[in-house]
Amino acid sequence: MDAKHDVLVIGAGCAGMRAAIEAHDAGANVGVVSKLHPTRSHSGAAEGGINAALGNTGEDDPEKHAFDTVKGSDYLGDQDAIEIFTREAPDDIYQLDHWGAFFSRNDEGRLAQRPFGAAGSPRTVFAADITGHVLIQVLYEQLSRRDISVYDEYFAWQLVLNDDRCQGVICWDLLSGGLKAIGGKTVILATGGAGRLYRATTNAYACTGDGMAMALRIGLPLKDMEFMQFHPTTLFPSGILLTEGCRGEGAYLLNSEGERFMKRYAPNAMELASRDVVSRSEQTEIDEGRGINGSVMLDMRHLGPERIIERLPGSRELSMTFAGVDPIYEPVPVRPGAHYHMGGVETDSDGLTELTGLYAAGEVACISVHGANRLGGNSLMETITFGRRAGRAAAEWALSHTTVEVPETVERDAERELRDLLWRRHGERPWRIRDELGASMLENFGVFREEQKMLRQLDIIDDLRERYETVHVEDKGEIFNTDLTQAIELGYMLDLAFCMLQAGVERKESRGAHARPHDYPERDDENFLMHSITRLVDAVPVLTYKDVRMTRWKPEARTY
Ligand X SMILES: Cc1cc2nc3c(=O)[nH]c(=O)nc-3n(C[C@H](O)[C@H](O)[C@H](O)COP(=O)(O)OP(=O)(O)OC[C@H]3O[C@@H](n4cnc5c(N)ncnc54)[C@H](O)[C@@H]3O)c2cc1C
Chain contacts with ligand X (rule: CB under 6 A): 10-16, 33-36, 41-43, 45-50, 131-132, 155-156, 190-193, 202-203, 206-207, 210, 241, 243, 339-340, 362-364, 377-380, 383
Partner residues linked to 9 by β-bridges: 32, 188
The smaller minimum CB distance to ligand X, of residues 380 and 461, is found at: 380
Question: CA-to-CA distance for 281 and 278, rounded, in angstroms?
Answer: 5
Question: CA-to-CA distance for 539 and 465, rounded, in angstroms?
Answer: 13
The smaller minimum CB distance to ligand X, of residues 193 and 255, is found at: 193
2 to 155, 169, 216: CA distances (angstroms): 15, 11, 25
In whole angstroms, how close is the CB of 386 to ligand X at the nearest point? 10
CB atoms within 10 A of CB 23: 35
Question: CA-to-CA distance for 336 and 354, rounded, in angstroms?
Answer: 35
The one catalytic residue in 275, 311, 335, 516 is 275
In whole angstroms, how close is the CB of 20 to ligand X at the nearest point? 11
In whole angstroms, how close is the CB of 84 to ligand X at the nearest point? 17
Burial 348-371, CB ≥16 within 10 A → b, else e: bbbbbbebebbbbbbbbbbbbbbb
Backbone torsions φ then ψ of 148, nearest 5 degrees = -120, 130
Backbone torsions φ then ψ of 151, nearest 5 degrees = -100, 80
What are the DSSP calls for 75-140, one per residue? T-S-HHHHHHHHHHHHHHHHHHHHHT----B-TTSSBPEE--TT-SS--EE-STT-HHHHHHHHHH
The smaller minimum CB distance to ligand X, of residues 50 and 464, is found at: 50
Pair 173, 35: CB distance under 8 Å: no
The smaller minimum CB distance to ligand X, of residues 454 and 490, is found at: 490
Q: Is the peptide bond before 368 cis (omega within 30 degrees of 0)?
A: yes
In whole angstroms, how close is the CB of 115 to ligand X at the nearest point? 13
* Secondary structure element (H or E) that encloses residue 362, with its range: none
The smaller minimum CB distance to ligand X, of residues 266 and 338, is found at: 338
Question: CA-to-CA distance for 514 and 454, rounded, in angstroms?
Answer: 12
398 to 78, 186, 206, 404, 476: CA distances (angstroms): 27, 6, 29, 10, 38
In whole angstroms, how close is the CB of 47 to ligand X at the nearest point? 5
Burial 180-202, CB ≥16 within 10 A → b, else e: bbbbbbbbbbbbbbbbbbbbbbb
DSSP state of 295: B
CA-wise closest residue to 523 among 535, 515, 533: 515
Task: Please confirm, yes or no, whether 275 is among the known catalytic residues.
Answer: yes
In whole angstroms, how close is the CB of 527 to ligand X at the nearest point? 30
> Helices 79-99 and 378-399, interaxial angle, to 10°?
90
The smaller minimum CB distance to ligand X, of residues 3 and 292, is found at: 3
In whole angstroms, how close is the CB of 557 to ligand X at the nearest point? 27
Residues 6+ apart with CB under 8 A from 428: 467, 470, 471, 472
The smaller minimum CB distance to ligand X, of residues 70 and 380, is found at: 380
The smaller minimum CB distance to ligand X, of residues 376 and 509, is found at: 376
248 to 76, 269, 434: CA distances (angstroms): 25, 11, 35
In whole angstroms, how close is the CB of 397 to ligand X at the nearest point? 21
Q: Which residue is nearest to ligand X (CB)?
A: 13
Residues annotated as catalytic are 275
